[in-house]
Amino acid sequence: MTDVVLSAHAELEYEDAYDWYHRRSPRAAARFERAAHVAIRMIADAPEAFPFYEEPFRYRPLKRFPYLLVYRIRANDVQIVAVAHASRRPGYWKNRES
């Protein structure tokens, strides 16, 4: 299992999405949180199993939510660079260094 870390940008995006769901429904927020954790575990178990968005970035969609975990494989870990809404501003995160 590979270590998975969230960049500061990705953490803020995750928190914003979680808060948005929580304001509408705590149950929806809990489901969003579970979907994100499942996706992170899947990435940790097999980081090369998911498709490229644009090299070196890969992505894993969240089940039942319109979000993608966009990540890159680094020497010692996997870094999630964005928790991106699937239909908003495609590729806005491409220039993120960390």
CATH number reported for the structural domain that contains residue 78 in this entry = 3.30.2310.20
pTM of the model: 0.90
Within-domain flag for 13: yes
- Count of structural domains, the chain: 1
**Residue spans of the chain under pLDDT 70:** 91-93, 97-98
C-beta of residue 13 within 8 angstroms of C-beta of residue 52: no
Report the distance separating Cα 13 and Cα 11, nearest Å.
5
Per-residue model confidence (pLDDT) at position 54: 87
Provide the mean pLDDT of the chain. Answer: 92
Within-domain flag for 25: yes
Within-domain flag for 92: no
Under DSSP, the state recorded for 68 is E
Domain enclosing residue 80, as ranges: 4-85
Within-domain flag for 54: yes
Per-residue model confidence (pLDDT) at position 84: 93
Within-domain flag for 21: yes
